[in-house]
Amino acid sequence: MDVKGYDHREELHYHSEFTWIKVEEGIAIVGLNDFYCKLAGEISYIDMPSEGDDVSKDERIGTVETGKWVGKLIAPVTGEITEINEDVDDDPAIVNEDPYENWIMKIKMENPDEIEELMFGDKAVEWLEVEIEKHKQD
């Protein structure tokens, strides 16, 4: 679905720090949304946790870097990192090309109910529209 020129996937859950989450059998697959990727510009480096690391919801767990900008990477759920996307680790710019195919990490959720605290459906669309307006360039 298109939201003011940005690709938005209705079937995903969203954290307010611009990550999307898809849950498969207790594992949260985590990536960056299209808006964040376009706002940041071409991603040159993503500092992310390692496999086996424990992360807590809303905790800063890394950074997303472009040539002129450094943003934070926030854990959308609590749990253990079970996998990082080696392709993204090797070439972070592929996230810009297709942020919904090029996920960043997988987290085995400690508390699956945390998904209910994330945005979904109309609430996620409304949030994205507000963020787009907030970051609009004059």
Q: Note the maximum CA span of the chain.
A: 44
pLDDT digits (tens, 9 = 90+) for 17-72: 999 999 999 999 999 999 999 999 999 999 999 999 999 999 999 999 998 889 99
Residue 83 lies in domain: 2-134
Structural domains in the chain (count) = 1
Give pLDDT, residue 135.
87
What CATH number is given to the structural domain containing 93? 2.40.50.100
Statement: residue 8 has pLDDT above 60: yes
Smallest CA-to-CA distance from 76 within 99, 36, 106, 40 is with: 106
> What is the pairing mode between strands 60-66 and 70-74?
antiparallel
Statement: residue 138 has pLDDT above 60: no
Give pLDDT, residue 137.
65
Predicted TM-score (pTM) above 0.85? yes
Q: Read off the pLDDT of each residue in 126-134 and give the average, rounded to a whole number.
A: 95
pLDDT digits (tens, 9 = 90+) for 58-111: 999 999 999 888 999 999 999 999 999 999 999 999 999 999 999 999 999 999
Give pLDDT, residue 102.
98
Backbone φ and ψ for 94, nearest 5 degrees, come out as -65, -20
Q: Contact 92/43 with Cβ under 8 angstroms? A: yes
Compute the radius of gyration of the chain from its Cα atoms. 14
Q: How far apart are the first and last CA of the chain?
A: 25
Measured in whole angstroms, the distance separating CA 10 from the mean position of its chain's CA atoms is 14
Backbone φ and ψ for 111, nearest 5 degrees, come out as -135, 95
